[in-house]
Amino acid sequence: MVRIARVVPEVSLDRAFDYAVPAELEEKVSLGAKVRVPFKSRELVGYIVEFPREPFTGNLKPILEVLSTRAFLPAILIELAQWMAQYYCAPLTVALMSVLPKAVRRADAAFKQRLWVEALTTTLPDETATALKKARAQLAAWEHLQQNGPGWLADLSQVCSPAAWRGLAERNLISIASRTQERDPFLHSPVAESAPHELNAEQVAALKVVGEEMVAEKPRVVLLHGVTGSGKTEVYLQAIAKVLALGKSALVLVPEIALTPQTVEHFRARFIGQKVGVAVLHSHLSSGERHDQWQQIRSGHARIVIGARSAVFAPLENLGIIVVDEEHEHSYKQEESPHYHARDVAVMRGHLERVCVLLGSATPSLESYHHAKEGKYRLVELLQRVEEGQMPVTHVLDIRSAKKGEPPVLVAPRLIEAIQTRIDRQEQSIIFLNRRGYSSSLQCPQCGYVEMCPNCSVTLTYHRQASRLRCHLCEFASSVPHACPQCGFAPFKYAGSGTEKVEHALMDAFPKARIARMDSDNMRGKDAYAKTLGEFAEGKIDLLVGTQMIAKGLHFPRVTCVGVINADLALQIPDFRASERVFQLLMQVSGRSGRGQVRGEVFVQTRAPFHPAIQFARHHDYAGFVEQELAFRDSLHYPPYERFVLVTARGRNEEKTLYVLDQLAKEMGRLDLPETEITGPAPAPIARIEERYRFQVFLRTRRIMAVTPRLRPLFMDRAWPDDIRITIDVDPVDLL
């Protein structure tokens, strides 16, 4: 009887295909193996996802070659991909490809081979010594090698000429051989080992709960709600130490590594003395580095993995814990198909592997908090800052103009005063604004004309440094008109404000202060964040101005003043989570203040001083906020009480796009889904991006687990009309 292997080839189809396992490959195949198979008239690489039991009659094509010496993909990741494909309504191949990084899948993916030079003897035979006296370069090379030990030929060629090394090799005095060099992204950033802190009572209680779940038969998810500066990271570190002691491995997810270099440093510093290997996966790795890190993990050399979203698929075996730091962060949601949420995938992975999942945040998402309240998750809380650190005092500054026609306040006098005091005391300030650029838009004071992006339905943002108008959704940029294109009035007026404008205002107010700006405009380079943050940590910068990029996880004890220029921007976004986001943001931002000995202050500028998100944040009242917000969500049937599915159609032709989505909505309606309401199609809040019209259909359901498997077939392997793109997003976080 022929053994059958079910293979998912690397093409975008929602299918696996069966192949026969030839007798000579019988020994080599395994679940998760990478294989070469015939596919139509081509050959493709694929992965074995199953060995079906049912007997096969008929003619199967054979597997041509097994490309991996052992199971390439751990079985658990195959299972996870299959779950994602179902839940997020994505093709199986797409789900499987997102589990395996491209750098590892590539045909030429391999460790880097370089030439390594080693001496074969330590003494020179007499006649050779005489001969070398005439070959001075070779003698010098020989002596260098004896003194400094072996090395890479490329490096040694900087010392002596390549010819000299080859000469020595010809005399059989040294060997030059190919060897694997692992690309280590940390080669140039050593850290000093850090010792564990003695835990305070709250931390002890939290760690105890984690310890219980770690050894439980069916572990429950633990939600760690800890205010900023309460020592959550220390709890993670000590939980991981326990896991290592059990001989297991640990996976840590953080929102975006480039923005939180300090977190990674903490983990490396704590475990660097132990021979466990810490792998780091993030978006700034080169393809080669990514490949090497993955292989390090797969081979078991790295037992701690820290990474952003896609690290949830790290091929670790024998997992002991999965930590998701800042679990409320929206960057855990993948923007392309499959639109997975890494926190939810982590919970699923923990469930499949029976591993404890620890979710941590100062402001847990309402979804996770709701699960904890319902008893599905275990809740532990750290409500005090470590070492009697106090929460900062928050001042809400009302910046509504007192008189009509008065220019709006950019930086309120009280904030200016507070910054001045910090400069005098040699403390630091962080000024935060959720908008880059100089002004948000260009508006004609006479006719009201606003300069819009020709491709997207949003206004253009003025960037002073580049002297350009830019669209933040597409790459469009144009020069700044001198007069209004509509009525000819000059000069144009700039409305709203961005980081650049605030930076200039602060430079005017504090001509002697050292000011730095951090936003995605000026932080493009690989090391730009690390450099600026390093200078800030060393006290070379007094004032840091930036977007949310600086709101997260940073720990600078000398920061005692934080200013929020405009808390309202995010409240105006047409999204039911706007309030939650603003609350989280204010809590995060204020968490940057007063982390040292001196109590911090936070100044929040707003035109909606009595908005609940602002008031609850001011009192650091998470429980109060969620209670009110959950009641509101419940009454409106929003998540976490009901779940959303968002179907979006995009196309250049407005009517056609709407028509296609309308037909699809009708098909969805005919499915007669249980306890589900379908609304739309309607234009998306941002009705056009990159010249494409956008329409949405919303599904709102109490029975998501029953709904997605039935919706899925409507989307699989389906040919939509040319130029129309349809996406389905389960549990969307971006509704625009």
Contact residues toward ligand ADP (CB under 6 A) are 197-200, 203, 226, 228-234, 386-387, 555
Q: Rounded to an integer, what distance in angstroms lies between the CA atom of residue 474 and that of residue 479?
A: 16
- Which parts of 246-280 fold into alpha helices (H)? 261-271
Total binding residues toward Zn ion, as defined by CB under 5 A: 7
Bridge-partner residues for 699, per DSSP? 645, 678
Which token pair is 249? Answer: 């491995």
Nearer to Zn ion, 103 or 474 (CB): 474
- Quote the tokens at residue 64: 């041509």
CB of 386 to ligand ADP, least distance (A): 4
Residue 199 to residues 204, 321, 322, 455, 520, Cα–Cα distance (Å)? 6, 20, 21, 55, 37
CB atoms within 10 A of CB 694: 23
Which residue among 456, 543, 699, 735 contacts Zn ion (CB under 5 A)? 456
Q: How far apart are CA 377 and CA 372, in angstroms?
A: 4
474 counts as binding Zn ion under rule CB under 5 A: yes
For ligand ADP, the closer of residues 234 and 519 by Cβ is 234
Report the residue number whose CB is nearest to Zn ion: 471
20 near Zn ion, judged by CB under 5 A: no
Residues 16 and 33 sit within 8 Å (Cβ to Cβ) = no
- State how far the Cα of 74 lies from the Cα of 86, in Å rounded to an integer: 19
- Say how far apart CA 514 and CA 667 lie, in whole Å: 61
The option from ligand ADP, Zn ion, none interacting with 474 (CB < 5 to 8 A, set by class) reads Zn ion
Structure tokens at 719: 């040919």
Per rule CB under 5 A, is residue 455 in the interface with Zn ion? yes
Question: For residue 43, what are the contacts with CB-CB under 8 A and spacing of at least 6?
Answer: 36, 37, 64
The torsion angles phi and psi of 34, rounded to 5 degrees, stand at -95, 125
Least Å distance, CB 385 to ligand ADP, is: 8
CA–CA distance, 641 with 242 (Å, rounded to integer): 36
φ, ψ for residue 499, nearest 5 deg: -55, -40
- Angle, nearest 10°, between helix axes 413-424 and 499-509? 60
Nearest distance, CB of residue 389 and ligand ADP, angstroms: 8
Binding Zn ion (rule: CB under 5 A), the pick from 76, 78, 250, 471 is 471
Instruction: Give which of Zn ion, ligand ADP, none residue 456 binds (C-beta under 5 to 8 Å, depending on kind).
Output: Zn ion
Binders of Zn ion among 602-621, rule CB under 5 A?
none
In contact, 258 and 185? CB cutoff 8 Å:
no
- Among ligand ADP, Zn ion, none, what does residue 453 contact (CB within 5–8 Å per kind)? Zn ion
Nearer to ligand ADP, 185 or 231 (CB): 231
Residue with tokens 């202050």: 601
Restricting to residues 619-658, which ones interact with Zn ion according to CB under 5 A? none
Q: Cβ closer to ligand ADP: 513 or 537?
A: 537
Nearer to Zn ion, 652 or 703 (CB): 652
Closest separation in Å from C-beta 419 to Zn ion: 35
Shortest CB 84 distance to ligand ADP, Å: 29
At closest approach, how far in Å is the CB of 279 from ligand ADP?
21
Instruction: Report in angstroms how near the CB of residue 261 gets to ligand ADP at its nearest.
Output: 13
Nearer to ligand ADP, 203 or 337 (CB): 203
Look at the alpha carbons of 472, 476, 481, 486 in this order and tell me if their dihedral is positive or negative.
negative
| Residue 477 is a binding residue for Zn ion (CB under 5 A) | no
Residue of 276, 284, 264 lying closest to 316 (CA atoms): 276
Q: Of the two residues 18 and 690, which places its CB atom closer to Zn ion in the complex?
A: 690
Q: Does 469 participate in binding Zn ion (rule CB under 5 A)?
A: no
Residue 230 binds: one of ligand ADP, Zn ion, none (C-beta under 5 to 8 A by kind): ligand ADP
Q: Is 450 in the site for Zn ion (CB under 5 A)?
A: no
Peptide bond into 338 cis (omega under 30): yes
Instruction: Tell me the closest approach of the beta carbon of residue 444 to Zn ion, in angstroms.
Output: 20
- Which residues of the shown chain bind Zn ion in the complex (CB under 5 A)? 453, 455-456, 471, 473-474, 476
